Amino acid sequence: MMRPTRLLLGALLLAAASAQAQPAEFAACLSGLRAPARAAGVQDASFERFTQGLQPDMSVVDKLNVQPEFSTPIWDYLAGLVDDERIAEGRAQLQRHADTLARVQQRFGVDPATVVAVWGVESNFGQSFGKYPLVQALGTLACNGRRQAYFRTEFFSALRILQAGHVAPERLVGSWAGAFGHTQFMPSTFERLAVDFDGDGRRDLMDNTADALASTANFLARAGWQDGQPWGFEVKLPAGFPTSGEGRRTKRAMGEWTRRGLLRVDGSPLPAEAGPAGLMTPAGATGPAFLVLRNFDAIYSYNAAESYGLAIAHLADRLRGGGPFVTPWPTDDPGLSRAQRRELQGLLLLRGHDIGEADGMLGEKSRAAIRVEQARLGQPATGRGGLLLLKALQPR
Ligand code: CA
């Protein structure tokens, strides 16, 4: 959550020079942080203990500066996050943790499917935490790069978490930007909102599922979640409906949307009792359209991207037994599920491309191989793996 990359999408002017680690400067910076850390509640002994011998990892500064090669179409983003595997796994987790989730709902007023959907998107149900030691990553970013003040706060926060003994130092690993655990909280978010739900005295988002599920629910509750209300729903727009000026934040009463001719996507009337809603058309007026309510904003605050919010909201619906969106995305080249991405990578390997393991993530090597194959097939060499390329490479 709150990964700085998301805030940077679209930023054009970035210092691209790859910085070199300079141990002496880093050591000087760290010792300069000792006094402000003390003022922020990190005792000298803790600072010493947790930063002793710390070396910078300049790869995280490169990550901070990375410019996306292209912006991912929303249908690619959703196809990977809400696929059959994640739906099946999420349903299994709903059963497995049914008792905990029921108690979480009782205390925080957030339903099981929503909590599990966040968990599934944030860490693939606890299977993907990131691999960066947090003190090293945050210490590096506190002393290097463009957002040192922000990361300094998170660095001190991580040191306080260790000082309090919530997580063992060697277990505190996460994303390059400092999000960690089942819920991918930033350290400051952990301090504000993490919950000790199993009552063992520690707030443990690395190794304790109950603490993690409750912490996610607490986050959403504090962000204004209203139990029993929908996040929103897919709608059908009248032909030629003007969508310009509409959006998540332009909330209108349900009655006004009804007067303007909107229906639920199955043709039934809008629910009159539902609260004010904004109209989201993430792929333009010809793609799927959604009325989103206050609960969508709560999800959005977990990670400020509408595509992210839609992935969680839709996954939650699918976990409850709902179907895919009715209106197709406006493309003739739909996105790939993770299983299809692995299949595509297998086909690239068969064709002799050295792309490493077929892990379902289309990284740089996969995209380079895709460009070669697209050129060979006479397609635009975009490096994007979609259904058309997969089908073209499948044996006949
Ligand atoms: Ca606990």
- Over the chain, what is the mean pLDDT? 93
Token match 């339903």: residue?
111
pLDDT bin (cut points 50, 70, 90) of residue 20 is low
Amino acid at position 55, single letter: Q
Ordered by where they begin, the domains of the chain are 21-66+129-222 (1.10.8.350), 232-293 (no CATH), 338-393 (no CATH)
| pLDDT tens-place string over residues 178-215 | 999 999 999 999 999 999 999 999 999 999 999 999 99
| pLDDT tens-place string over residues 341-371 | 999 999 999 999 999 999 999 999 999 999 9
Reply yes or no on whether the pLDDT at 15 is more than 60: no
Distance 216 CA to ligand 1 centre (A): 14
φ, ψ of residue 173 in degrees (nearest 5): -125, 155
Distance 101 CA to ligand 1 centre (A): 15
Structure tokens at 11: 């930023």
Closest CA to 139 of 158, 120, 126, 122: 158
Overall average pLDDT of the 15-25 stretch: 59
| pLDDT tens-place string over residues 303-345 | 889 999 999 999 999 999 999 999 999 999 999 999 999 999 9
Reply yes or no on whether the pLDDT at 32 is more than 60: yes
Burial of 274 (0-12, 13-18, 19+ CB in 10 A): middle
| pLDDT tens-place string over residues 33-60 | 999 999 999 999 999 999 999 999 999 9
Terminal alpha carbon distance of the chain: 43
Given a contact cutoff of 8 angstroms between Cβ atoms, the answer to whether 123 and 183 are in contact is yes
Distance 123 CA to ligand 1 centre (A): 19
Reply yes or no on whether the pLDDT at 11 is more than 90: no
Q: How far is CA 376 from CA 17, 348, 349, 387, 394, in A?
A: 33, 13, 16, 17, 15
| pLDDT tens-place string over residues 129-181 | 999 999 999 999 999 999 999 999 999 999 999 999 999 999 999 999 999 99
DSSP string, 77-115: HHHHHS-HHHHHHHHHHHHHTHHHHHHHHHHH---HHHH
Reply yes or no on whether the pLDDT at 240 is more than 60: yes
Could you tell me which residues come within 8 angstroms of residue 187 by beta carbon, excluding any fewer than 6 positions away?
Answer: 134, 138, 154, 155, 157, 158, 160, 161, 178, 180
DSSP string, 252-320: B-HHHHHHTT-EETTSPPP-TTS--BEEE-BTBTTS-EEEE-HHHHHHHHHSS-HHHHHHHHHHHHHHT
Reply yes or no on whether the pLDDT at 2 is more than 60: no
Reply yes or no on whether the pLDDT at 301 is more than 80: yes
Q: In this predicted structure, what is the pLDDT of residue 18?
A: 41
Burial of 391 (0-12, 13-18, 19+ CB in 10 A): exposed
Distance 100 CA to ligand 1 centre (A): 13
Tell me how many helices (H) and strands (E) the chain has.
18, 6
Distance 233 CA to ligand 1 centre (A): 35
Q: Which of 21-25, 80-84, 250-254, 384-388 has the lowest mean pLDDT?
A: 21-25
pLDDT exceeding 70 applies to what percent of the chain? 93
Distance 91 CA to ligand 1 centre (A): 24
Reply yes or no on whether the pLDDT at 388 is more than 50: yes
Reply yes or no on whether the pLDDT at 7 is more than 70: no
Distance 167 CA to ligand 1 centre (A): 10
Reply yes or no on whether the pLDDT at 124 is more than 80: yes
Q: In this predicted structure, what is the pLDDT of residue 347?
A: 98
Token match 């991580």: residue?
158
Distance 197 CA to ligand 1 centre (A): 6
pLDDT bin (cut points 50, 70, 90) of residue 72 is confident
Distance 166 CA to ligand 1 centre (A): 8
Distance 212 CA to ligand 1 centre (A): 9
